[in-house]
């Protein structure tokens, strides 16, 4: 690959408004025929949506290229979305790395099952919205926008800047990523809404919400109901503390109990060899989740 702009400081390269990064991205997609887009462990809708969109962008700019998305696992919600939009993520540990690797929505190397020594030899491009870590040091380029609620918004903005309007399935994937990472828009800012209105043409928002609500399986819903039916409520210093027990899904049960009004929920799951205690407390809409393992 041409090395122009190599000496631009990376801090500058990470500014999306800087045309150079867009020029570089276009150049990479046009010239590299083999690119791997890597998602973090248990890839969530933001990681998957971002990768699906980047892969589309690459294939638009280089129809002959070989582009694929890989993760060591994907979440259940992400699987629903992939089925809906007819896309795939290869599930694999330690994938074979081509010369160019994009790491997407991932802050730390610990979230990836890749050969780090091999990765360091490759041309790595990181696109993320988490706090910058030393993962950025091994990257040739990175776009890290810590103030963005989702990586999908960074990708949507790239499309906008490049004046390429993505097809419906790609926009659906990006919208799912945005809505998921903004916790159903609770963390959205004015730019989020601008990008949603750009992406949502001919897409029903209810459909996006539906795709993101298919997580609860029967056993989880049963556990929620049992946790609520067994709940004891104590008051302590004006805090409503709920105590309950289930045999599985204790973290999800604790979150559910907090969501229906408890200030603190302790849900214990008793298992064969260990006892897991989940404490979830709602602190100004922030969840603090703590688990204590007792062998």
Measured distance CA(107)–CA(132) in Å, rounded: 7
The contact pattern for Mn ion, residues 146-175, with x = CB under 5 A and - = no contact, is -----x------------------------
Choose between 89 and 262: whose C-beta lies nearer to Mn ion.
89
User: Which position among 32, 72, 87, 105 is part of the footprint of Mn ion (CB under 5 A)?
Assistant: 105
Phi, psi at 243, each rounded to 5°: -120, 135
User: How far from the centroid of its chain's Cα atoms is residue 232's Cα?
Assistant: 35
Q: Which of residues 185-224 bind Mn ion (CB under 5 A)?
A: none
Minimum gap (Å) between residue 105 Cβ and Mn ion = 4
Strand partners, 34: 66
Structure tokens at 79: 């699987």
Choose between 111 and 252: whose C-beta lies nearer to Mn ion.
111
User: Which position among 32, 46, 72, 157 is part of the footprint of Mn ion (CB under 5 A)?
Assistant: 46
The H-assigned helical ranges of the chain are 10-13, 19-31, 45-61, 76-85, 116-120, 151-162, 168-181, 190-199, 205-211, 218-229, 250-259
- Near Mn ion by CB under 5 A, which window of 20-28, 115-123, 179-187, 221-229? 179-187
- Near Mn ion by CB under 5 A, which window of 91-99, 156-164, 178-186, 272-280? 178-186
Q: Which residue is it, tokens 């659906």? A: 172
DSSP state of 136: G
Choose between 104 and 264: whose C-beta lies nearer to Mn ion.
104
Q: Which of residues 230-289 bind Mn ion (CB under 5 A)?
A: none
User: Which position among 32, 72, 157, 181 is part of the footprint of Mn ion (CB under 5 A)?
Assistant: 181
Minimum gap (Å) between residue 17 Cβ and Mn ion = 21
Choose between 104 and 242: whose C-beta lies nearer to Mn ion.
104
Residues near Mn ion (CB under 5 A), total: 4
The residues that touch Mn ion, with contacts defined as CB under 5 A, are: 46, 105, 151, 181
């Amino acid at each position: 690959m041409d090395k122009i702009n190599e000496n631009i400081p990376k801090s500058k390269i990470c500014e999306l408004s800087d045309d150079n990064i867009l020029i570089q991205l276009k150049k990479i997609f046009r010239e590299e025929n083999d690119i791997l887009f890597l998602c973090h462990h248990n890839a969530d809708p933001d990681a998957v949506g971002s990768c699906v969109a980047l892969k589309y962008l690459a294939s638009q700019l280089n129809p002959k290229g070989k582009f694929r998305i890989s993760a060591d696992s994907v979440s259940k919600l992400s699987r629903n979305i992939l089925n809906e939009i007819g896309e795939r993520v290869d599930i694999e540990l330690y994938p074979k790395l081509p010369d160019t690797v994009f790491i997407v929505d991932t802050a730390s190397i610990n979230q990836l099952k890749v050969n780090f020594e091999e990765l360091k030899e490759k041309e790595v491009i990181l696109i993320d919205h988490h706090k910058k870590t030393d993962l950025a040091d091994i990257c040739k380029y990175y776009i890290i926008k810590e103030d963005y609620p989702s990586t999908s918004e960074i990708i949507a903005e790239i499309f906008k800047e490049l004046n390429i309007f993505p097809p419906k399935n790609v926009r659906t994937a990006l919208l799912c990523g945005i809505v998921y990472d903004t916790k159903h828009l609770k963390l959205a800012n004015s730019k989020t809404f601008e990008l949603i209105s750009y992406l949502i043409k001919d897409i029903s928002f209810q459909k996006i919400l539906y795709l993101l609500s298919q997580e609860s399986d029967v056993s989880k819903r049963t556990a929620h109901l049992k946790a609520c039916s067994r709940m004891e409520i104590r008051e302590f210093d004006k805090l409503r503390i709920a105590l309950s027990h289930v045999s599985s899904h204790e973290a999800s049960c604790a979150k559910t109990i907090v969501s229906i009004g408890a200030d603190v929920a302790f849900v214990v799951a008793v298992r064969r060899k260990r006892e897991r205690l989940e404490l979830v407390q709602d602190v100004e809409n922030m969840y603090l989740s703590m688990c204590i393992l007792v062998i």
